[in-house]
């Protein structure tokens, strides 16, 4: 039976300040937890239903994690999503470590992306297109937010994020050798743009206001996704997928 202290601890991790205090976060659902087990994250403990434990007993034994068997009702009461009927893990956050693109590598920069679902989708999209590094402004939503982790579907275990002041970041890495490609309304058409073969940085902006002026000054190539219908805008997660898909058509891994 779950102790009151453990219930209180797990529930506290739904709030950013307690995730930062305990340096821990929650991962829910079979797919995400199984991918977590195969990652280099430090896992504190895993709560599992009897059915999940029986189905994945060999995997759980191989990883030698601290397990506690609970009921489906326990999980639904603890988690953020009522559909979780299999498992829940608490794991340690990682150090906010500096990231910069290697030679020939593409990297994403996110300027004030606020919606957790959008960030989770962008992480998943980045993983799909072979992008392993994302640099985020300090105002970008917390990667360890339960909604981000849920939307990322396990891709958070393969994509590293670094939060920093983007103006200072670009000042630090700007050597004049790397193109910085930004998504702007009124930019050159994405379909006529030639992505550099030697890598670069792709910048995506805030859901409503786009890339800020402070970050925009570092952009060397302003491009846009042409509109053919009447929609006012594209979701930033979808826009990121379009940008990366066109990049990979020209610069395959």
Q: What is the mean pLDDT of the chain?
A: 94
Of 110, 122, 140, which Cα lies nearest the Cα of 202?
110
User: How far is Cα 34 from Cα 75, in angstroms, rounded to an integer?
Assistant: 16
- 8 Å CB contact between 207 and 197: no
User: Which architecture, in CATH terms, is 4-92?
Assistant: 2-Layer Sandwich (3.30)
pLDDT score, position 77? 83
Q: Domain ranges for the chain, please list them.
A: 4-92, 106-250
Would you say the C-alpha torsion 161, 200, 241, 248 has a positive or negative sign? negative
Question: Lowest-confidence range among 4-18, 118-132, 173-187, 212-226?
Answer: 173-187
Q: What is the pLDDT of residues 62-102, one digit of tens each?
A: 998 999 999 988 888 887 765 667 899 999 999 999 999 89
Q: What is the pLDDT of residue 82?
A: 52
Per-residue pLDDT reduced to its tens digit, 190-234: 999 999 999 999 999 998 999 999 999 999 999 999 999 998 888
Name the superfamily (CATH) of residues 106-250: SPOUT methyltransferase, trefoil knot domain (3.40.1280.10)
**Averaged over 27-47, what is the pLDDT?**
95
Mean pLDDT, residues 28-34 taken together: 93
Q: Are strands 24-28 and 87-92 parallel, antiparallel or unpaired?
A: antiparallel
Question: Rounded to 5 degrees, what angle do the CA atoms 114, 223, 134 make?
Answer: 40
Mean pLDDT of the 4-25 span: 96
């Amino acid at each position: 039976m779950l102790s009151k202290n453990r219930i209180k601890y797990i529930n506290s991790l739904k709030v950013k300040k307690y995730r930062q205090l305990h340096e821990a976060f929650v991962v829910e659902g079979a797919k995400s937890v199984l991918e977590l087990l195969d990652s280099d994250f430090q896992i504190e403990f895993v709560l599992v239903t009897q059915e999940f434990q029986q189905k994945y007993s060999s995997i759980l034994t191989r990883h030698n994690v601290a397990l506690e068997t609970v009921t489906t009702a326990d999980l639904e009461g603890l988690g953020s999503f009522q559909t979780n009927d299999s498992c829940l893990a608490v794991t340690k956050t990682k150090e906010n470590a500096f990231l910069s693109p290697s030679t020939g590598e593409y990297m994403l920069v996110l300027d004030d992306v606020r919606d957790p679902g959008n960030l989770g989708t962008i992480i998943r999209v980045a993983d799909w297109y072979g992008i392993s590094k994302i640099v985020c402004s300090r105002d970008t939503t917390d990667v360890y937010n339960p909604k981000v982790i849920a939307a990322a579907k396990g891709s958070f275990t393969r994509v590293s994020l670094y939060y920093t002041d983007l103006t200072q970041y670009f000042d630090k890495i700007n050597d004049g050798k790397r193109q910085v490609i930004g998504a702007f309304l009124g930019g050159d058409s994405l379909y006529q743009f030639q992505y550099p073969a030697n890598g670069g940085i792709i910048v995506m902006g805030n859901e409503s206001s786009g890339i800020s002026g402070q970050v925009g000054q570092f952009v060397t190539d302003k491009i846009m996704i042409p509109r053919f219908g009447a929609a006012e805008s594209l979701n930033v997660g979808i826009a990121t997928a379009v940008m990366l898909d066109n990049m990979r058509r020209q610069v395959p891994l």
